[in-house]
């Protein structure tokens, strides 16, 4: 029998009150960070998966201790609720970090699925540097509507179709129910699936986890295996999270996003993660690595293929195999191998779903970084979702000072072919919270304007966005970036080939406008939202809360 530790008697007594008695308390403590709730389709099923993880941990002779963190659904929070969504990433990171520090776990299992929760847990993992394993929640089933495979992003575009009279209200409801039939990560390559893909490419989840079905036995088997491996890693002392998130691994993740046509939001999250790791990853790296990484696959809404098709063709492991020497294959995996072993065990690219590197869809990656007089510090566009005829576009600005204003322009059919919609004061500090302009972007497509109208903003776009939508413009308008000085009718030029975003107004006029500019009167929230607004970094630095004495300057307010 274990000798009772007198020094830990009080803690053991309190654990006893939690139902963890002396007969259940083994030496190793495995923290199970679960983002289950009833608010997010990618998370509603995680409670059962956590039970399987904990059971496996206990069977392996360790103590499993589950705790929870928040999870918000970008899709459900579209519109005014979206102010809180990006800031929630910081809360996820902090809550997991603080719980793990307080309870001194020997290893962590992270259960997560969606847009801000996966990166928040990655940020916590980087801070803690414990043996860490991820179990992401698997894919929502696809649906069928009108004889076509249907996923969640089709619903957003359906709103635009309904506004122009191509769908009735009843048809739109039927489309929504078909597209979202049950639990799991939305089955398109939006931010959620992009981040799950990156977790797997970092070796932090089991092979196939990013593309497994949410409702199948394969995911349940993964949950059991993750519980076993957590105990093994705790006993053996690693590898810890920072081994999986080395400088080479971070750049692998950039290439993975580029090759897969992944979400532009991954740029924000990888930059924020890099800062946690004291790595100097920058927008310039996305540009440089993207130029050297061909686009090898793309999925709904940028093509008719789904993420389930990606999995059937070998998924992340086959993509790593296709990238070959461009990947640092020495990165460790949680099952004790390296990425080299995963790639070697994967099927070869099929040439249709996943292309070989010498036969790519495009010669460069899916995300392009733009610079110019409208974006001196950079802007980001998902080029793989842009119609080729819109990769160079020039037109008159139609200025909107918030998401509601641009939505009004689109809903009232006030947008003309050739326009450039300029949406400002939606950045990290000015928004506040850097809202995702997913619905206006989808309305643009649904109304058939995505081949004649562009949108530029200091806000974000959904990973599922397609069309000529340029976001993440830095500096943001709230900090008197050039976006703040645009006027209706100014000519804006977007040139993806030249990687340029320019406002065609002369320097003297811009100087006059800057001298006359004043910040708009705007409610920037209270509580945590205001704390985020006052301390958020630029999107070019991950839009994270600064923690090293670099608060945002609000002295002029």
Q: Could you tell me whether strands 454-457 and 420-423 are parallel, antiparallel, or unpaired per DSSP bridges?
A: parallel
Query: Exposure of 166 by Cβ count < 10 A (0-12 exposed, 13-18 middle, 19+ buried)?
Result: middle
Known active-site residue 246: no
The answer to whether 368 touches 499, Cβ cutoff 8 Å, is yes
The contacts of residue 164 (CB under 8 Å, 6+ apart) are 446, 447, 448
Q: Name beta bridge partners: 513.
A: none
Rounded distance, CA 481 to CA 475, Å?
5
The b-or-e profile of 139-163 (16+ CB within 10 A means b, else e) is: bbbbbebeeebbbbbbbbbbbbbbb
Measuring CA to CA, how many Å separate 461 from each of 306, 472, 545? 20, 8, 20
Q: Which of 409, 439, 513 is nearest to 160 (CA)?
A: 439
Question: Sign of torsion, CA 273 279 285 289?
Answer: negative
Q: Name beta bridge partners: 400.
A: 423
The answer to whether 101 touches 78, Cβ cutoff 8 Å, is no
Q: 95, 462, 537, 538: which one is catalytic?
A: 462
Phi-psi region of 203 (alpha: psi -120 to 50; beta: other; left: phi over 0): left
Q: Which of 482, 305, 455 is nearest to 390 (CA)?
A: 455
Q: Could you tell me whether strands 148-150 and 132-136 are parallel, antiparallel, or unpaired per DSSP bridges?
A: unpaired
The contacts of residue 98 (CB under 8 Å, 6+ apart) are none
Query: Exposure of 361 by Cβ count < 10 A (0-12 exposed, 13-18 middle, 19+ buried)?
Result: middle
CA dihedral 530, 533, 535, 536 (to 10 degrees): 150
Rounded distance, CA 358 to CA 367, Å?
19
The answer to whether 156 touches 439, Cβ cutoff 8 Å, is yes
Chain CA centroid to CA 354, Å: 21
Instruction: Please name the residue that has the structure tokens 């080939």.
Output: 497
Q: How many CB atoms lie within 10 A of CB 60?
A: 19
Task: Give CA angle at 428 (427, 434), nearest 5°.
Answer: 65
**Tokens matching residue 423:** 């949406």
- Residues serving a catalytic function are 462
């Amino acid at each position: 029998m274990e000798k009772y530790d007198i020094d830990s008697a009080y803690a053991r007594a309190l654990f006893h009150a939690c139902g963890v008695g002396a007969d259940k308390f083994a030496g190793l403590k495995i923290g199970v960070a679960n983002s289950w709730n009833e608010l997010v389709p990618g998370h509603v099923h995680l409670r059962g998966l956590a039970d399987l993880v904990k059971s496996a941990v206990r069977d392996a002779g360790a103590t499993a201790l589950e705790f929870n963190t928040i999870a918000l659904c970008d899709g459900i929070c579209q519109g005014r609720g979206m102010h809180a969504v990006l800031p929630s990433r910081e809360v996820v990171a902090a809550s997991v970090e603080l719980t793990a520090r307080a309870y001194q776990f020997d290893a962590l299992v992270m259960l997560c699925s969606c847009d801000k929760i996966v990166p928040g847990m990655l940020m916590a993992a980087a801070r803690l540097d414990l043996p860490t394993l991820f179990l992401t929640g698997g894919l929502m089933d696809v649906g069928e509507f009108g004889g076509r495979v249907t996923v969640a992003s089709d619903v957003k575009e359906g709103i635009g179709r309904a506004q122009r009279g191509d769908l009735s209200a009843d048809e739109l409801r039927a489309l929504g129910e078909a597209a979202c039939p049950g639990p799991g990560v939305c089955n398109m390559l939006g931010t959620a699936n992009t981040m799950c893909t990156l977790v797997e490419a970092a070796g932090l989840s089991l092979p196939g986890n990013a593309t497994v079905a949410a409702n199948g036995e394969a995911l349940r088997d993964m949950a059991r295996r993750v519980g076993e491996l957590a105990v093994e890693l705790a006993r053996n002392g690693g590898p810890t999270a920072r081994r999986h998130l080395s400088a080479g691994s971070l750049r692998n993740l950039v290439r993975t996003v580029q090759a897969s046509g992944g979400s532009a939001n991954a740029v924000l999250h990888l930059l924020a993660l890099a800062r946690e790791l004291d790595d100097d990853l920058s927008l310039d790296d996305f540009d440089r690595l993207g130029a050297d990484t061909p686009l090898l696959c793309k999925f709904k809404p940028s093509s008719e293929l789904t993420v389930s098709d990606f999995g059937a063709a070998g998924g992340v492991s086959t993509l790593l195999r296709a990238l070959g020497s461009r990947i640092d294959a020495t990165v460790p995996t949680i099952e004790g191998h390296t990425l080299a072993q995963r790639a070697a065990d994967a099927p070869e690219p099929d040439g249709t779903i996943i292309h070989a590197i010498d036969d790519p869809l495009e010669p460069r990656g899916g995300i392009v970084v733009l610079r110019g007089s409208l974006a001196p510090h950079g802007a980001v566009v998902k080029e793989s979702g842009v119609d080729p005829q819109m990769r160079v576009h020039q037109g008159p600005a139609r200025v909107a000072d918030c998401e509601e204003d641009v939505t009004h322009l689109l809903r009232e059919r006030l947008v003309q072919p050739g326009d450039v919609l300029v949406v400002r004061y939606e950045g990290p500090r000015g928004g506040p919270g850097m809202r995702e302009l997913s619905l206006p972007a989808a309305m643009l497509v649904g109304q058939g304007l995505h081949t004649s109208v562009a949108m530029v903003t200091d806000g974000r776009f959904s990973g599922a966005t397609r069309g000529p939508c340029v976001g993440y413009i830095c500096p943001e308008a709230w900090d008197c970036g050039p976006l703040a000085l645009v006027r209706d009718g100014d000519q804006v030029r977007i040139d993806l080939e030249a990687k340029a975003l320019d406002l065609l107004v002369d320097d003297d006029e811009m100087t006059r406008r800057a001298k006359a500019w004043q910040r708009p009167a705007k409610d920037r929230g209270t509580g945590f939202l205001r704390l985020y607004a006052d301390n958020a970094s630029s999107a070019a630095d991950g839009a994270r809360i600064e923690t090293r004495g670099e608060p945002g300057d609000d002295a002029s307010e």
